[in-house]
Amino acid sequence: MLELSGVTTGYGRTMVVHDVDLTVPDGALTAVLGHNGAGKTTLLRAVLGLLPVRGGTVRLAGEDVTALAPHKRVRRGIAYVPQGQQSFGQLSARENLQVVADAHGRAGRRRTDEALDLFPALRELLGRQAGLLSGGQRQQLAIARALVTGPRLLVLDEPVEGIQPNVVTEIYDAISTLTAAGSLSVLLVEQHIGYAVEHAAEFAVLTSGRVAHRGQGGGEGASADARKALAL
Amino acid sequence: MDIIAQLFAGLSLGSVLLLAALGLSLTFGQMGVINMAHGEFMMAGAYTAFVVQGVVGDAGVSLLLALPLGFVVGGLLGLLLEATLIHRMYRRPLDTLLVTWGVALVLQQVARDVFGAPNVDVRAPAWLSGAVQIGGLALPRTRLFILTLAIVCVVALALALRATPLGRRIRAVVQNRDLAEASGISSRATDRVTFFIGSGLAGVAGVALTLLGSIGPTLGTNYIVDAFLVVVAGGIGQIKGTVIAATALGLMQSFFEYSTTASVAKVLVFVTIVAFLQLRPQGLVSVRTRSLA
Ligand SMILES: Nc1ncnc2c1ncn2[C@@H]1O[C@H](COP(=O)(O)OP(=O)(O)OP(=O)(O)O)[C@@H](O)[C@H]1O
Ligand SMILES: [Mg+2]
């Protein structure tokens, strides 16, 4: 589904991510782990096109999308849940979903309903201003909003960072539900090993913007392997 | 009686300021572009009314035609400016200010070359001549028309922003450009539409100004500073604030003028705004949100 080869990117003259190769196979979950400042968010911004790459290519389902604007990549099936529970703060929760659905016609409206089925608690909050929702509510809204675009690949940047434990479970359950059908691929960035390594087919550990370690997720030794690579 | 007359004069002036500032509340307030050529888009709208009257003849019909045409002319000028220059400098307000100021001077010269330096007149339609008498008070029909037009424009813009897909899109891009892009919304296309509407409103304001007197190439320079003041005092990005600030400025100017002279009143208004912004730098109406995003 997604194939990064030799991706190098950064801010101004400072390169933060160096020569990263990474793939997300169709229907699989690939995890990227790394400490604060390792360059995880930077890498994801390059995948979306929010940050231009200085070298390398980004391919989506075989198509080279390296030169495409972010909204065009989204049209081709990448959805993004950025770090930090972002929303259109002054729009209502409903408008947050509508504004994305507008761009996707009838399918957008259908997918709005499906996304709300995944997070039923959101239905009660639709009239509220998004910026005034709690962090957990805003994150559920953010995932719902991403799903309205009708993704083939869901890109999640630390989706449970700073969120209380019972909502964490809800969010992880939702991700599992989404991937269970096997038609959605996921690129998941995490600092914590738990869910990511358990559910990933493959994971990569990013250290100072380089892939320092690769491993297979799921199996017995996976989390010990990841723990060691992260020097925890 | 005098007080009511001053009140009406103030509201009338406020409505003119509001028309001049409404488009800016989009292009400057929402998008953060300091477009010094906004006044010249008004001037272009005024000359549109002049040209339309030359073609159509009938003052009533030409006014009603000129309003939408003025919107389109202003809007297209804005679109052209955005697409050629402004979009290259969205993060550089000082460059934008200088470049658009240059464009303003060029547009004034173009108007001089095409229409001549002396002012020209646009006839008001017969149904706007004279005044409505209310209890010994004469309210000029042209002023009432502009007041109504300002209200119509504000309501239309507010509704468009609040309740249409386009309005949602504009607000989303203004609030979080990256998130909008990453949600499949083209921020460039949205910028262009926003700029078109904001500049179009300047064109409408220009058409309205032809009802108040003769027009010339420098028409816009009389309004640009006041229009920016209104948007800043109202609270950036808030139409409600722009409406309140325009009304307040109009009333202040009118009442200060009553007790002093026009230019002293202007200074007093200016000082009041500066003092007010010292106390409340965010303007009258400020944004309520938990996180910036
Ligand atoms: N907008 C920016 N301009 C300049 N440097 C930046 C910018 N954003 C991030 N950086 C730098 O790039 C490096 C990687 O940052 P990045 O946000 O990608 O890390 P991260 O792995 O996502 O960290 P975290 O786990 O804290 O989210 C850091 O050194 C950071 O200071
Ligand atoms: Mg990060």
Residues of A in contact with B184 (CB under 8 A): 71, 74-75, 100, 103-104, 149
Q: What's the CA gap between B31 and B54, in Å, rounded?
A: 36
Check residue B150 and give its pLDDT: 95
Tell me the chain A residues in contact with residue B175 when contact means C-beta distances shorter than 8 Å: 88-91
Q: Please say if the pLDDT value at position A231 is more than 80.
A: no
Chain B residues near residue A87 by CB distance under 8 angstroms: 176, 179, 293
pLDDT above 90 coverage of chain B, percent: 63
Instruction: Look at B182 and A74 and tell me if their CB atoms are within 8 Å.
Output: yes
Beta strands in chain A (DSSP E): 2-11, 14-24, 29-33, 55-60, 63-64, 78-81, 153-157, 185-190, 202-207, 210-216
Between residues B123 and B258, the one the model is more confident about: B123
B164 close to A (CB below 8 A): no
Q: What is the pLDDT of residue B289?
A: 39
Q: Could you tell me if B263 lies within 8 Å of chain A, comparing CB atoms?
A: no
- Amino acid letter, B68: P
Query: Does residue A111 contact residue A147 with C-beta atoms inside 8 Å?
Result: yes
Structure confidence at residue B287 (pLDDT):
57
Residue B138 pLDDT class (50, 70, 90 cuts): confident
The sign of the CA dihedral B59, B60, B61, B67 is positive
The label of the residue with tokens 């697409």 reads B83
Q: Within the 52-71 window of chain A, which residues sit less than 8 Å (CB to CB) from chain B?
A: 69-71
Those residues whose C-beta lies under 8 Å from the C-beta of residue B152, and which sit 6 or more positions away, are none
pLDDT digits 0-9 by tens, A161-183: 988 888 899 899 989 988 888 88
ipTM reported for the complex, 2 dp? 0.92
* pLDDT band at residue A43 under the 50/70/90 scheme: very high
Residues in chain B: 293
Pick from A50, A91, A146: CB nearest B168: A91
Cα–Cα distance, B204 to B211 (Å, whole number): 12
With the most atoms of ligand 1 within 8 angstroms of its CB, the residue from A7, A9, A11 to mutate is A11
Whether pLDDT at B290 is above 70: no
Number of continuous H segments (helices) and E segments (strands) in chain A: 8, 10
CA B15-B25-B219 angle, 5° bins: 55
Residue A85 half-sphere exposure toward CB, CA atoms < 13 A:
24
Test B183 with A100 for CB contact under 8 angstroms.
Answer: yes
Nearest-atom number in ligand 1 for the CA of A38 is 21
CB-closest option in A90, A132, A145 to B183: A145
- Answer whether B74's CB lies under 8 Å from B44's CB: yes
**Structure confidence at residue B264 as a pLDDT band (50, 70, 90):** confident
More confident residue, A100 or B9: A100
Nearest protein CA to atom 2 of ligand 1, as residue:
A11
pLDDT tens by residue, B164-217:
999 999 999 988 999 999 999 999 999 999 999 999 999 999 999 999 999 999
Map out the domains of chain B with their CATH numbers: 2-279 (1.10.3470)
Q: What is the pLDDT of residues A75-95, one digit of tens each?
A: 999 999 999 999 999 999 999
Ligand number nearest CA of A15 is: 1
Reported as a pLDDT band with limits 50, 70 and 90, residue B1 is low
Which residue from B168, B181, B293 is facing A102, i.e. has the nearest CB?
Answer: B168
Reading the block at residue A155, the tokens are: 């890109």
Spatial neighbors of B172 by CB under 8 A, at least 6 apart, are A88, A91, A95, A96, A99, B179, B180, B183, B185
User: Please, how many CA atoms are within 13 Å of residue B181, restricted to the half-sphere of its CB?
Assistant: 17
How far does the centroid of ligand 2 lie from the alpha carbon of residue A38, in Å?
Answer: 8
Q: Say yes or no for a CB contact (<8 Å) between A50 and B178.
A: yes
> Pocket of ligand 1, candidates A7, A33, A35, A42: which has the most ligand atoms within 8 Å of its Cβ, to mutate?
A42
Pairwise pLDDT comparison (B17 vs B267), residue with the higher score = B17
Task: Output the CA–CA distances (angstroms, integers) from residue B12 to A91, B44, B139, B169, in the order listed.
Answer: 33, 22, 10, 33
Q: What is the mean pLDDT of residues B116-130?
A: 92
Closest C-alpha residue for ligand 1 atom 30: A37
> Does the structure show a pLDDT above 60 at A206?
yes
Name the average pLDDT for chain A.
91
Nearest to A51 by CA among A85, A7, A103: A7
End-to-end CA distance of chain A: 31
Q: A104 vs B178: CB contact, 8 Å cut-off? A: no
Query: ∠ CA B9-B11-B12 to the nearest 5 degrees?
Result: 60
pLDDT band at B153 (very low <50, low <70, confident <90, very high): very high
CA of residue A33 to ligand 1 center, whole Å: 14
Could you give the 3-state DSSP secondary structure of residue A39? Answer: coil
Task: Kindly report the protein residue whose alpha carbon is nearest to atom 18 of ligand 1.
Answer: A39
Residue A158's contacts (CB-CB under 8 Å, 6 or more residues apart) are A40, A83, A189, A190, A191
> What string of H, E and C letters represents the secondary structure of chain B?
CHHHHHHHHHHHHHHHHHHHHHHHHHHHHHCCCCCCCHHHHHHHHHHHHHHHHHHHCCHHHHHHHHHHHHHHHHHHHHHHHHHHCHHHHCCCHHHHHHHHHHHHHHHHHHHHHHHCCCCECCCCCHHHCCEEEECCEEEEHHHHHHHHHHHHHHHHHHHHHHHCHHHHHHHHHHHCHHHHHCCCCCHHHHHHHHHHHHHHHHHHHHHHHCCCCCECCCHHHHCHHHHHHHHHHHCCCCHHHHHHHHHHHHHHHHHHHHHCCHHHHHHHHHHHHHHHHHHCCCCCCCCCCCCCC
Asked if A88 is an interface residue toward chain B (Cβ–Cβ < 8 A), one would say: yes
Residues of B in contact with A49 (CB under 8 A): 181
Contact yes or no for B45/B122 (Cβ under 8 A): no
Ligand 1: residue whose CA is nearest its atom 22:
A41
Q: Does A90 touch chain B (CB under 8 A)?
A: yes
Report the pocket of ligand 1 as residue ranges, CB < 6 Å: A 11, 16, 34, 36-42, 83, 191
pTM to 2 decimal places: 0.88
Residue B109 has pLDDT above 50, yes or no: yes
Tokens of A91: 């729009």
Residue among A82, A98, A138 whose CB faces B182 most closely:
A82
Ligand that comes closest to the CA of residue A207: 1
Residue nearest to atom 16 of ligand 1 (CA): A39
CA distance B277 to A86: 31
